[in-house]
Amino acid sequence: MSSKIYFSDKSDAKSVRFYAMQILSKSMHSVMPGTAQKYAKKLLMTPVRHNVKQTVPVRFKSDVLASKLGPIHVISAGEGPVVLFTHGWSGSASQFYALMDHVVALGFKVVAFDHYAHGQSGGDQANLPKFICALNAVLEMIAQPVKAIISHSMGGIAALNSDWQIEQHILIAPPFDFYAGFRDRILSIGIVESLFTDVLASIENEHDMKFSDLLPEQQLINHSKITIIHDIEDKFARHDLAYEQAQQHAHIDIYSTQGLGHGRILNSQQVWRHVGECLMSHMS
């Protein structure tokens, strides 16, 4: 259900369903705040699992990493400097298979994983702090320098918030102005703002992370080399905001595409070539 909220490109016109949700969420939050939070979390924090039953191709090694928040499905292939891949909301490691093959052919070891409640990993609900926790758990498992992190969508925010020093970040379709967009999409379905605020506060307290500290704009200065790959027609992560960040920071390059949108950009040979050029140009 959450993917229909976050990845909807419908107009802002208010429907009967919007007003029904507004009345229901307001009344439940007033009378039964704990129950209202529980159901709001289930509605908003449950991603769609893609490719759950898809067999991992034999060219990739498949492992399960035990972590404090549940099992994480990890795949890897190749030899050489490590390149880590991290997907976005309602995505999975399988989205990167073709790009990973391309990177392996360049002489790298590739590692990808399914976030909590995604793909073949454990858990029923996800959120940004859990994305960060899962990424840090995988980085700790790798236990060696990581040449680059290639991230898609919300996975890029997690990557920028990583506790580890990474030589290079390649952000594909990163969502800047994340909090405002997140809030607007949730309020647009009729969830009252007081309930939205309480849900976020509950998540912050659970993981000891403040959403206001995790915004990608604030994390850019903590990394030395960033490349943004973004389609100008992306309906879910605004290209103009990414371009603005690239203009403000000398250590950020931006490569713009057209006609690939938010998801198809991962399966573009044009993008694969540029990723390869970025990785090879910064070989030490």
Report yes or no on whether pTM surpasses 0.85: yes
pLDDT at 135 over 60: yes
Residue pLDDT, tens place only, 256-275: 999 999 999 999 999 999 99
pLDDT at 283 over 90: no
Sheet of 61-65: strand order equals 61-65, 72-77, 109-113, 82-86, 146-152, 168-172, 226-231, 252-257
Residue pLDDT, tens place only, 210-232: 999 999 999 999 999 999 999 99
The pLDDT confidence band at residue 61, using thresholds 50, 70 and 90, is very high
Average pLDDT, the chain: 91
Strand, coil or helix: 247: helix
The pLDDT confidence band at residue 278, using thresholds 50, 70 and 90, is very high
pLDDT at 31 over 90: no
The pLDDT confidence band at residue 88, using thresholds 50, 70 and 90, is very high
The pLDDT confidence band at residue 8, using thresholds 50, 70 and 90, is low
User: How far apart are alpha carbons 224 and 124 in whole angstroms?
Assistant: 35
User: How far apart are alpha carbons 117 and 92 in whole angstroms?
Assistant: 10
Residue pLDDT, tens place only, 137-181: 999 999 899 999 999 999 999 999 998 889 999 999 999 998 888
- Ramachandran region, residue 72 (left: φ > 0; alpha: ψ -120 to 50; beta: rest): beta
Sign, CA torsion 209/214/218/221 = positive
